[in-house]
Amino acid sequence: MRKLLLLITIVLLTGCTASPAAQPAGRPVIVLVDLSGSTEAVASTYRQYVQTVIDSLKGGEHLMVLPISSTSLTATAAVDVHFPAFRRFTTNEFTHGRAMKKARDEALTKVDALLTAPRTEAALGTAIIDGLLQARDLLGGQPGTICIISDMVEDSDLARFETLADNEIPTLMESLGTRRPTYPAGTRVHVAGLSAAGGHIEPAQVLTIRRFWETFFAEAGAQLVEYGPEFHSL
């Protein structure tokens, strides 16, 4: 009996947790980063936005970062990092803090590689909608957080938002067909970066583009929490 009590005490003090194979997948946090031609000059600003997302994580998340370009539909995650969960009665606070720092450093190193990689001419478009279809699949049927770092100007085979008119939004939504995602209830969407690409869109067009995305996410079953130049509600 005394040996059993000693073993329990050691487990509690050292903060032993289940093996990695037994850990849950974690709440998905998906970051879509615009790597189209107009964003190359603001890579450092976009890096700060990604760091804001990473710094907001408390543990127990599965972070995935994907590029937005003309090949968004087939892009693989440039960052795929699990952040360790904190369990109140079994996790050692110091050990958890150290593991979180390691996960943050790993994620940021991969983000830096993504943002500084040469941009290929074949991938300079802006297929945001296809990236959001990818995000749906990566959620794996569970609610999560989607953070988009972009000026939100779609420029793909689906649409050219620089000339989108308000009365074209319903027709465009209908034309998306199978490339129109539906998200699990409770999915939250945050958008930052509207001003980072230089404000090359007229204010009236910015409002039209915003109305499209408000419609898009409402019909997709996701809550658009914020839509602006920076993240404030993570």
pLDDT in tens, 128-183: 999 999 999 999 999 999 999 999 999 999 999 999 999 999 999 999 999 999 99
Of 3.90.550, 2.70.98, 3.40.50, 3.40.190, the CATH number of 24-227 is 3.40.50
Residues 6+ apart with CB under 8 A from 187: 139, 143, 144, 145, 146, 221, 222, 223
Residue where the block lists tokens 């964003």 = 39
HSE-CB for 129 with a 13 A CA cutoff: 24
Q: How far apart are CA 1 and CA 21, in angstroms?
A: 30
- In sequence order, the β-bridge partners of residue 29 are 63, 145
Q: What percent of the chain lies above the pLDDT cut of 70?
A: 87
pLDDT in tens, the chain (234 residues): 554 444 444 434 444 433 333 445 689 999 999 998 767 788 899 999 999 999 999 999 999 999 999 999 999 999 999 999 998 888 889 899 999 999 999 999 999 999 998 888 777 889 999 999 999 999 999 999 999 999 999 999 999 999 999 999 999 999 999 999 999 999 999 999 987 655 678 889 999 999 999 999 999 999 999 999 999 999
Task: Identify whether the C-beta of residue 43 lies closer than 8 Å to the C-beta of residue 160.
Answer: no
Predicted model pTM: 0.87
In angstroms, the first-to-last Cα distance of the chain is 48
Beta strands in the chain (DSSP E): 27-34, 61-68, 79-82, 145-149, 188-192, 223-227
Question: What one-character-per-residue DSSP string does 100-155 give?
Answer: HHHHHHHHHHHHHHHHHSPPPGGG-SB-HHHHHHHHHHHHTTS--EEEEES----B
